Homo-oligomer: A and B are copies of this chain.
Amino acid sequence: MTHGGNIFEIQRKYNINKDNLVDFSSNINPLGIPESLKTLIIDKIAELECYPDIHYHQLKTIIAEYYSLDQKDIFVGNGAAQVIYDAIHAVKPKMSIILAPTFSEYERALVSHGSKVQYHYLEEKNNFNLREEDLIGAIDDSIDLVVLCNPNNPTSKLIKKDNIKKILDKCKKHNTFLMIDEAFMDFVEDDESYSMLEDYREYNNLIIVRAFTKFYGIPGLRLGFGISRNEKIIASVSENTIPWSLNTFAGYFGQVLLSEKEYVEKTYNWLREEKKRFVKKLAEIEGITVYIPSVNFILIKIVKENVDVDILKERLLKENILIRDCSNFNGLSKKFFRIAIKDPILNDRFVDSLIKAMDYSLEDKYK
């Protein structure tokens, strides 16, 4: 398993104290964890002595209200990762289509549950945008499940809801399920044009995966949820999921959701301004192509000869900066990396460090 955010491994491998690392490899909201979560954790420490509610009733009630869903259609998991695994276990696909490049856990979960995988390659010439008509052409009776990631990781590209509906209609004709991972959708201000949350009730072959991990800056808490109108899917997840999958604190996260409207606004304000500013600065750097991001992370291609991500990663680590090497994404190469958008000071530091790291003449410095 190779993912971003593996600061513990970097610490072991390079002997860099993880607390000194600036982790651009993990796409987490730089506002940090909400204050109300800190209070909640301190309040609920003694409750670790009790089993969490095995049905997570309160949490599901609040999620249903917050996102205007029906509570019976919701299931929760120990991070979006478990939601993905549980959904795939319920669908039991034999043949699935996934995007390339995309988040690697879909393939891992599919293979683990006995599904074969076909790749639908996103093309560099289209800036890695999905051409829905191509994907629709690939769906036939042999396909049990199509997995989309919207916005897609690591490309940071969105798929419009209208196009998703066309894909869903084609899927329906072939008894094919569509699973859409919307783990980063909370960062999208005009999400009603992209998210299927509002329209999920119309589709019996749709499963949506969501997470609080990225938006609320809590990858260490482990909390995701799934939505499906399909009663068999919900029943199967309920029958097969590992019990008590959320820890006590995650089980109470609904309270944070209700009290952090300001955090949401602050996040929107930061991302709206800083995405524009940071991308502009990055675009001025010679030797890289910046793919315009839709959310809080950016895919970048190195277009300079003799520089690849191995070199860049090593050089940036010497400046205590960690980037996400994207060479292990199917469909990408040693020329690609991904970074998170952070606060202006850290982003400026990144720009300066990247300019230096891209410069051949500094080769001696890095020896």
Instruction: Show the binding face of A for B, using Cβ within 8 Å.
Output: 1, 3-9, 12, 18, 23, 26, 28, 32-33, 37-38, 41-42, 45-55, 57-58, 78-79, 81-82, 85, 89, 105, 108, 112, 217-222, 239-240, 242-251
- Please, how many angstroms separate the alpha-carbon atoms of A365 and B45 in the complex? 38
A242 lies within 8 A of B5 (CB): no
Q: Report which of B82, B219, B250 forms a contact with A242, defined as CB distance below 8 A.
A: B82
A8 lies within 8 A of B79 (CB): no
Q: Report which of B32, B50, B57, B108 forms a contact with A220, defined as CB distance below 8 A.
A: B50
- Please, how many angstroms separate the alpha-carbon atoms of A51 and B322 in the complex? 14
Q: Report which of B55, B81, B246 forms a contact with A243, defined as CB distance below 8 A.
A: B81
Q: Report which of B38, B55, B243, B251 forms a contact with A45, defined as CB distance below 8 A.
A: B38
A51 lies within 8 A of B81 (CB): no
A220 lies within 8 A of B239 (CB): no
B239 lies within 8 A of A219 (CB): no
Q: Given the complex, which residues of B lie within 8 Å of A79, measured CB to CB?
A: 242-244
B247 lies within 8 A of A222 (CB): yes
Beyond known contacts A3-B243, A38-B45: 7 more, CB 8 A cutoff: A6-B54, A8-B57, A26-B50, A49-B219, A79-B242, A220-B251, A247-B250
A32 lies within 8 A of B7 (CB): no
* Contacts A78-B242, A81-B242, A243-B81 given; does A220 touch B49 at CB 8 Å: yes
A240 lies within 8 A of B112 (CB): yes
Which of chain B's residues has its CB closest to A84's CB? B242
Q: Say how far A209's CB is from chain B's closest CB, in angstroms.
A: 13
Q: Say how far A192's CB is from chain B's closest CB, in angstroms.
A: 29
Q: Report which of B3, B217, B248 forms a contact with A221, defined as CB distance below 8 A.
A: B248
Q: Say how far A124's CB is from chain B's closest CB, in angstroms.
A: 28
* Contacts A8-B57, A41-B41, A244-B219 given; does A51 touch B26 at CB 8 Å: yes
